[in-house]
Structure formats: C-alpha cells, structure tokens
Amino acid sequence: MGITGSKLEKALGDQFPEGERYFGLENFGNTCYCNSVLQALYFCVPFREQLLDYYSNSKNPSDAVEENLLTCLADLFLQITSQKKKTGAIAPKRFIQRLKKRNEAFRGFMHQDAHEFLNFLLNELVDILEKEAQVAKSDEENLPPPEKITDGLNNISSDGPQKEPLVTWVHKNFQGVLTNETRCLCCETVTARDEPFLDLSIDIDQNSSITSCLKNFSSTETLNAEDKFFCDKCQSLQEAQKRMKIKSAPPILVIHLKRFKFIEETRRDKKLLYRVVFPLELKLSHTVEDVDAEYSLFAVVVHIGSGPTHGHYVSLVKSHNHWLFFDDENVEMIDESAIQTFFGAAHEYSSNTDHGYILFYERTVARSTS
C-alpha cells in the first residue's frame, strides 16, 4: 500500500485536500462487501462529521460506554481522520468482530451482499441511538426503561398508542418518505399511506437509466381480478389504481439497483448484467410536495462478478472534486470519465461484469416548482 499511497500523493500533489485522509481497509477473507460500504459512508461528509461529533460528546471518562457497532464505526472513522500520514491502510478488525458477533448472517467466509450489510448497519445505528435516547429519558424521569424500547424505524412501545418517532442524525441524513397511494376506481376515494425509507431499492431494465427506473418505480399499477383492493368506503373489493411516490426526498439519497433476481425456473438467484446509466447529476421531479430535488453523485459501490454468490466489491468515491477508486487496501485516483465503465453491459454476452450496485447521491438543490 506504501507504493500505491505514494503514487496517490504524487498524483494529487499540492491539490491534496487539507486535513483529508485516503486510507484503504484490510480485507479479512471476504469483507470487501463491508469495506466498500464503509468507504462510501466515510466520504458522506455530513454523516462522518455527525458520527464523530456524537462519539466525542459521548466519551465521558466516568462512564463505561458499552461497545457496539456505533462506537466501533466511530472509532474506525476517528482512526482514519487522526492518522499522521495522508494515505495508507487500516485494519477494521474491531468493527468486523463486532459485526459478526451482532449478526450471525455475516459470520463465515461466504460471499455477502453489500446492500444487506448497509441496510442492517443503518438500522442498527438507528436502533442504538433510539435506545440511548429512551434510557436517557427514563433516567431523567427516574423511571425504569420500558420493556420494549423501539423496533427499528417504527418506534412503537410495548403498550399504549404509537409515539412520535425519534428523529436521529442518521434519519436526518438518509431518511425520506414514500407515499403509497391507492385510488378506488368505483368511488374515486384515495387512500394514502406514508412509509419511511433509508434507501430506495429499484427494479432495473436492460439499456435503461436511473431516471427511467425511478419513473417505473412511481408508475401507476391497476389492481384487478385476484388483486382487487378492499375499499373502506365501498366496503367491498374494487378495482383500483396504485402508485408509489417520493413524498419527502432525503439529504443523502441511497439507490440500490436490484441486480440479483430469483429465477423461478432454476430456483436460483441470477445477476442481471444490465447496462443502467447513472448520471453524475440527478433530478427528482414531480414529488408530492411539488419540489424539484437535485442531487450530485459522490459514491458508488460496485459489484464485480457474473453471479450473486461470488465476486468482489469495490467503491468509487468523489472527494474534493477528485474521484478515487477503493479496492480494499488499495486506493488510486481515477478519471471522472471512467465511471461510465461501471454502467454495465450493453448486451448479454459482454465480458464486462463491473456493475454499479449502490449509488450515493447528495442533495444540492431543493426549490418549489409552484
């Protein structure tokens, strides 16, 4: 890594960002799925800063802070930011050990799914923060904590009515809101249900784009025959139209491309080697609030390989207007134009198996269209 690091420093020269650190992460046999996601999260600057701020405020010498995934992640980020060298490699040993201890799905040496890891990690961080807030509140009131503190994002107590959910700094970065609208075609009544999300999982098609995939995600679906909708006003099953809209767009929009699909005929998962164009600048139009949200791409987790049960993960990250390629311990600069090589294959028999899998967009503009 020393050679790679010196090359990176030489390539950036006097443009090396003040105070920034570019460190690779050691692979413990099969942990590229974890390393690639951690790099994307590290270069999500608001998230990094809030995590480190939380960590510094919670480190009280008189309190024995219990180690968990949140403290292990913060400790890893702190290790990177406090390095004297500008480049190098770090072994995220404590984080990996805690991850495997917390979730048996990530034990062993099988190929893991980077999106499943990201989803688990964000929800775990939320759960830890919510529990801490509940314990703090109980301590203030001098009452014992409730039997069931929270359940992920739902924040429902073991008894009594639903409480107002706690909004943590994880929510403030990643959480958006979807609205699931169903319109009865008999009485025209619209039923709407809000659903929070930390990332969007979208279906993909061959030779498509993120914009077209998002349009399909929000397209209208007709419910009829066996799929009729029970209308509360009609008090019967009726034909209806259903659609999903983005009601509230988050500051950091994480888009997961559904590249792995279960095939009924073979009873196996298959990787879709589709070409899906993801732009550097993305506009989300026609949301419920009539707001145009504009986003800029800053990280991509890439899956390399032809199938879902094997392969490798790397990440592309934008930092201070430079694009970097993180492959476990190795870090190097890449040209912005190289990003399009990760769109995928234009035809089924292409040898290109390097595909954008998880996209991280940072919100740049939100303006009213009214």
Residue-level length of the chain? 370
Question: Is residue 213 flagged as an active site residue?
Answer: no
Look at 306 and 38; give whichever has higher pLDDT.
38
- pLDDT recorded at residue 145: 58
Among 44-48, 109-113, 186-190, the range scoring the smallest mean pLDDT is 109-113
- pLDDT recorded at residue 366: 58
| % pLDDT > 70, the chain | 86
DSSP string, 59-74: --TTS-PPP-HHHHHH
Read off the pLDDT band of 62 (50, 70, 90). very low
Retrieve residue 42's tokens. Answer: 């590290």
Look at 23 and 166; give whichever has higher pLDDT.
23
Compute CA distances 118 → 33, 47, 359, whole Å.
9, 14, 12
Look at 344 and 187; give whichever has higher pLDDT.
187
4-33 mean pLDDT: 89
Q: Please check the confidence at residue 181 and state whether its pLDDT lies above 60.
A: yes
56-81 mean pLDDT: 83
Q: Please check the confidence at residue 59 and state whether its pLDDT lies above 70.
A: no
180-184 mean pLDDT: 93
pTM of this structure = 0.89
- pLDDT recorded at residue 57: 87
- 292 half-sphere exposure, CB direction, 13 A CA radius: 9
- Terminal alpha carbon distance of the chain: 53
Backbone angles phi, psi at 106, to 5 degrees: -100, 10
Look at 228 and 158; give whichever has higher pLDDT.
228
Contact 102, 125 (CB under 8 A): no
- pLDDT recorded at residue 318: 97
Residues 48, 223: Cα–Cα separation, whole Å: 43
Q: Please check the confidence at residue 18 and state whether its pLDDT lies above 80.
A: yes
Strand partners, 229: 238
Q: Please check the confidence at residue 142 and state whether its pLDDT lies above 70.
A: no
Look at 67 and 59; give whichever has higher pLDDT.
67
Q: Please check the confidence at residue 138 and state whether its pLDDT lies above 50.
A: yes
Indicate the Cα dihedral angle 311, 313, 314, 315, nearest 10°. Answer: 140
- Burial string for 237-272 (b: 16+ CB within 10 Å, else e) reads ebebbbebbbbbbbbbbbbbbebbeeeeeeeeeebb
In three-state secondary structure terms, 49 is helix
Question: Is residue 44 flagged as an active site residue?
Answer: no
Read off the pLDDT band of 369 (50, 70, 90). very low
Among 180-194, 221-235, 257-271, the range scoring the smallest mean pLDDT is 257-271
189-199: per-residue pLDDT in tens?
Answer: 999 999 999 99
322-359: per-residue pLDDT in tens?
Answer: 999 999 999 999 999 999 999 987 776 677 889 999 99
Report angle CA 346, 350, 356 to the nearest 5 degrees: 60
Q: Please check the confidence at residue 47 and state whether its pLDDT lies above 50.
A: yes
Retrieve residue 91's tokens. Answer: 């072994």
- pLDDT recorded at residue 285: 75
Strand partners, 194: 179
Read off the pLDDT band of 268 (50, 70, 90). confident
104-118 mean pLDDT: 91
Look at 209 and 144; give whichever has higher pLDDT.
209
Residues 297, 117: Cα–Cα separation, whole Å: 21
Instruction: Give me the catalytic one of 171, 256, 303, 312.
Output: 312
Instruction: Give me the catalytic one of 32, 44, 184, 213.
Output: 32
In three-state secondary structure terms, 187 is coil
